[in-house]
Amino acid sequence: MDKQMTIATIDSTVINREAVENLGGTITEYTYFEPTEEKMKELSQDLFSKNWNKIVVGPCVEGAVFEVRFAK
């Protein structure tokens, strides 16, 4: 699976950013923004139009996780 991330452009609606160091030494970066209708539409379009094939969904059932990957 491709590890390259697409980062959506977020303008002046950014409220806060933080970087958290994980136990394995990796860093997870979070960006918090005002969830305006325009930003949510932009985010949805970016996720489901440009990156739909990288989305993995599924229920988490105790003892098992079921995943679905989208394909053309």
Confidence of residue 56 (pLDDT cuts 50, 70, 90): confident
* Mean per-residue pLDDT, 4-8: 51
Per-residue pLDDT at 11: 55
C-alpha–C-alpha distance, residues 72 and 69, integer Å = 10
Question: Please, what sign has the CA dihedral across residues 37, 70, 65, 31?
Answer: negative
Q: Does residue 8 have a pLDDT over 90?
A: no
pLDDT mean across residues, the chain: 77
* Mean per-residue pLDDT, 21-50: 89
Per-residue pLDDT at 62: 73
